[in-house]
Amino acid sequence: MHTDLWNHALALYARPGIEEACLSVQALGGDVCLLLCATWLQRRGVAPNAERVQAMQAIAEPWQKQVVTPLRSLRQQWRTQAQHDPQLAALREQLKGLELQAEKQLLQRLEACTQQWSTGSREPVDDWLAWLAPDQARGHDALEQLRVAAAGLQEAEDGV
């Protein structure tokens, strides 16, 4: 079992179709880091509530706006030009690495925020994805694909 959020996120994101599903929800206004954290919290049996969601959003929103999104935007702006400019392509790859490091930092911050929340609830807990997905993504196939893949990852790691 991946006990930390970063390794859980890497394992889940590597599953077939999850990158595309996450990018689909991101295009609808979703925060991929929050969604990956949602699946981790669900797996750990942490119950969601409005206060917890607000605490996570208070961490994620400014970091996404001030750090991740500017890096991503610049990387995307360079896509076409970098195909014809090897030096720019190399810089674009470095930028991609910075973007990934910024996302890792956000996941670490989210994990730190959640450390004191009790885990292992014996009662079924509400769906974290429903709490953290944007309204326009609710009911979207990509969100369901994320749920199914997260359950499959848990079963694979638990040896079921």
Tens digits of residue pLDDT in 56-97: 999 999 999 999 999 999 999 999 999 999 999 999 999 999
The pLDDT tens digits of the residues spanning 11-50 come to 999 999 999 999 999 999 999 999 999 999 999 989 999 9
Angstrom distance (rounded) from CA 160 to CA 154: 9
Q: What is the pTM of this model?
A: 0.90
17 neighbors 141 (Cβ within 8 angstroms): no
Angstrom distance (rounded) from CA 20 to CA 154: 20
- Element (DSSP H or E) covering residue 78: none
The pLDDT tens digits of the residues spanning 115-149 come to 999 887 766 678 899 999 999 988 889 999 999 89
The torsion angle over the Cα atoms of residues 73, 77, 83 and 87, rounded to 10 degrees, is: -80
Angstrom distance (rounded) from CA 108 to CA 40: 12
